[in-house]
Structure 1
Amino acid sequence: MLQPQWLRTFEALVELGNFTRAAERLDLTQAAVSQHIKHLEARLGPLLLRQSRGLELTPAGHALLDYQREMQAADQRLRQRLAGDDASQGELSLITPGSIGLAIYPHLLALQHEAPGLAIHHRFAPTAEVIDAVLNNRAELGIATQRPEDPRLTVSLFAKEALELVVPAGVEVAGWNDLERLGFIDHPDGHDMATRLLSRRFPGNPGVGRLSRHGFTNQIGLILAPVAQGLGFSVLPRFAREAYPHPEAIRVVEGAPGVVDTLWLLHRAEWPLSARARRAVERLKSRLVSTPSA
């Protein structure tokens, strides 16, 4: 029989493509990760090809990955059946992008206070990883910024979220020159978001790439820290701005036209949501006020 821990190690290694990162995620040593893979390969044959560009699965590796995902799906269905239809008990797993994640996390904590029997597991991830996690049963619920067309997913509107131009408090922005003077605080989606919003707000501008970049962070909760200190401006989603703990230090530059994104709720289509998932979705939707369309 294959040990579940070996299978979890193999799956993490395939997902991350790196022994070091797999060991960090699983809280193991690299030697332990290697040993788990050796145990599997001793039983099943070669599973991975170590290439200069990364790891590549052999046919046996693809078969084992499919097996692991089928086992996860069966395990999830079993846990849902054993938990019954009790909305106050059991595990709820969800995965979301950063901005909406910041908005919903306090409400998830409040829900767990009301129902201590709930165990809520929330991960932050980009949309591509959200879709993959729901498809492969690593999360019951996902929220994505793009609508997937995969027939294995049930997709519904969750919320709408505007992009915002945020500057230090007291700063006025009358034109593109003011943004050039301030400088741009970038983030992983910053160039795309700024291009989408500023191309509409300031038509004919020379482009975001021409702006002086005064900072960068990949932590969504920290993007506005340098803005609040007067070090530049940024463009980010509304929910991320609303979660910033020092609103008095920043200012949203209002204007038209705007850009409003749709957030999509995802879950596997083959089985209905658990009662606890339905309760969480109803609670979260009631707490979030959608932005009007642009």
Structure 2
Amino acid sequence: MLNPAWLRSFKALAAEGTFTRAAESLELTQAAVSQHIRQLELQLGPLLIRRPRRVELTPAGQALLAYCDEVARADRCLATRLADANAMQGVVSVITPGSVGLSTYPRLLDIQRETPGLVIRHRFAPDDDVVTAVLDGRYELGIVSRLPDDERLAAESFCEEALELVVPKDAVVDDWEGLVRLGFIDHPDGQAMATRLLSRWYPGKRSIADVPVTGFTNQIALILEPVSRGLGFTVMPRHARRAFLRQDEVRVLQECVPVVDTLWLIHRAEWAMSARARHVVDELHRRLAAADRAAA
């Protein structure tokens, strides 16, 4: 096993680029850092190309740096497991897409408020970033809209999310032409979501690309602002629509069977979900189910 002090010096050198800055960051002498690197190179071969201004890693050095990251992830995993003696204390980190995040984050805060000692760390991100963050060990839990095909991830069904066509409360929309007259409020996923839903509702009609765009925002929490002011319609996930505070200013059209996606909860498959994370997930399931019953 490689000496942890040697690995810390190597990782600092890779990050800082020079022996002087690495030594300063570790509060060691430059001679100590040089000795650690020398010991590693005696065992592993050349790890560095020493340039005048900055060291460069050899392929062996790159492999050792990746190993250092793996050790750091294993240390975090061990700390999580050792902290599981009390399921009601510690950090639960969750990363989600915007729509379901708008619905779950307030409930996560409610759970934290009711559970002294529990700390919630949440981030909004698209599906690909969610998967990467969970694989890298930066977040314990993630929610994605596509079931990941990666054996390193464990996945379970979390909830369902329907796409909805939302119009201003007083809008008269009897057919496809009514939507065209109203105009489309677009967002980053708007075209894809509208195509999936409207192709089922209005088969044989032209595509959403033929509907005039009367607004755009990349903030999911603000998509219904222009809709509520009569500036157009949009297609968005139900969780995002329910998070809008002024529900009386918009209306959901229900023309036919909705398009419904399954959202998946993911975590690293190599180790069990922490007890406190399991508690949070179970509480979220319960509260989301209660919200669905109340809205029915």
* Superposition TM-score, scaled by structure 1 size: 0.79
Q: How has the CA–CA distance of structure 1 residues 181 and 115 changed in structure 2, closer, same or farther, with 3 Å as cutoff?
A: same
Q: 1 CA distance for matches of 2:268 and 2:226?
A: 40
Q: Look up the match of 1:258.
A: 258
Q: How far does the alpha carbon of each residue in 1:184-208 deviate from its partner, in whole angstroms, 9 at most, with x for none?
A: 1111111100000000011112101
SS at match of 1:204: coil
Q: Look up the match of 1:197.
A: 197
Q: Look up the match of 1:228.
A: 228
Q: 1 CA distance for matches of 2:178 and 2:202?
A: 11
Q: 2 CA distance for matches of 1:149 and 1:210?
A: 35
Letter in 2 for 1:38: G
Q: Look up the match of 2:154.
A: 154
Letter in 2 for 1:103: S
Q: Look up the match of 2:211.
A: 211
Q: How far does the alpha carbon of each residue in 1:77-112 deviate from its partner, in whole angstroms, 9 at most, with x for none?
A: 122133133121111111111111011111111111
Displacement of 1:274 in angstroms is 0.7
Q: 2 CA distance for matches of 1:236 and 1:102?
A: 13
Please, what is the CA RMSD of the aligned residues? 2.6
Displacement of 1:116 in angstroms is 2.4
Flag the structure with larger Rg. 2
The equivalences for 1:95-174 within 5 A come to 95-174=95-174
The equivalences for 1:63-82 within 5 A come to 63=63, 66-82=66-82
Which shifted more, 214-223 or 65-74? 65-74
SS at match of 1:163: strand
Check conservation: 2:162, 2:260, Cα contact below 8 A.
Answer: yes
Q: How has the CA–CA distance of structure 1 residues 191 and 37 changed in structure 2, closer, same or farther, with 3 Å as cutoff?
A: farther
Q: 2 CA distance for matches of 1:59 and 1:247?
A: 57
Q: How far does the alpha carbon of each residue in 1:151-201 deviate from its partner, in whole angstroms, 9 at most, with x for none?
A: 111111000010000011111211111111111111111110000000001
Q: 2 CA distance for matches of 1:220 and 1:287?
A: 22
Q: 2 CA distance for matches of 1:165 and 1:281?
A: 29
Equivalenced residues, count: 254
Q: How has the CA–CA distance of structure 1 residues 276 and 179 changed in structure 2, closer, same or farther, with 3 Å as cutoff?
A: same
Q: How has the CA–CA distance of structure 1 residues 91 and 231 changed in structure 2, closer, same or farther, with 3 Å as cutoff?
A: same
Q: 1 CA distance for matches of 2:8 and 2:119?
A: 25
Check conservation: 1:185, 1:227, Cα contact below 8 A.
Answer: yes
Q: Which runs of 5+ in 2 are unaligned?
A: 1-5, 23-36, 38-46, 50-56
* Superposition TM-score, scaled by structure 2 size: 0.79
Q: 1 CA distance for matches of 2:150 and 2:68?
A: 21
Q: 1 CA distance for matches of 2:160 and 2:209?
A: 27
Displacement of 1:291 in angstroms is 7.5
Q: How has the CA–CA distance of structure 1 residues 39 and 239 changed in structure 2, closer, same or farther, with 3 Å as cutoff?
A: farther
Q: 1 CA distance for matches of 2:72 and 2:176?
A: 52
Check conservation: 2:84, 2:276, Cα contact below 8 A.
Answer: no
Q: 2 CA distance for matches of 1:139 and 1:129?
A: 11
Q: 2 CA distance for matches of 1:83 and 1:240?
A: 34
SS at match of 2:85: coil
SS at match of 1:149: coil
Check conservation: 1:260, 1:291, Cα contact below 8 A.
Answer: no
Q: Look up the match of 2:238.
A: 238
Q: How has the CA–CA distance of structure 1 residues 194 and 59 changed in structure 2, closer, same or farther, with 3 Å as cutoff?
A: farther
Q: How far does the alpha carbon of each residue in 1:263-293 deviate from its partner, in whole angstroms, 9 at most, with x for none?
A: 001011111111110000000111113979x
Displacement of 1:66 in angstroms is 2.6
SS at match of 2:66: helix
Q: 1 CA distance for matches of 2:205 and 2:8?
A: 59
Displacement of 1:61 in angstroms is 7.6
Displacement of 1:62 in angstroms is 5.1
Check conservation: 2:83, 2:90, Cα contact below 8 A.
Answer: yes
Q: 1 CA distance for matches of 2:253 and 2:131?
A: 33
Q: How has the CA–CA distance of structure 1 residues 37 and 251 changed in structure 2, closer, same or farther, with 3 Å as cutoff?
A: farther
Q: How far does the alpha carbon of each residue in 1:42-95 deviate from its partner, in whole angstroms, 9 at most, with x for none?
A: 98547xxxxxxxxxx984685366335413421321221331331211111111
Q: How has the CA–CA distance of structure 1 residues 291 and 248 changed in structure 2, closer, same or farther, with 3 Å as cutoff?
A: closer
Q: Which runs of 5+ in 1 are unaligned?
A: 11-35, 47-56
Check conservation: 1:134, 1:268, Cα contact below 8 A.
Answer: yes
Q: How has the CA–CA distance of structure 1 residues 88 and 204 changed in structure 2, closer, same or farther, with 3 Å as cutoff?
A: same
Check conservation: 1:69, 1:137, Cα contact below 8 A.
Answer: no
Letter in 1 for 2:137: N
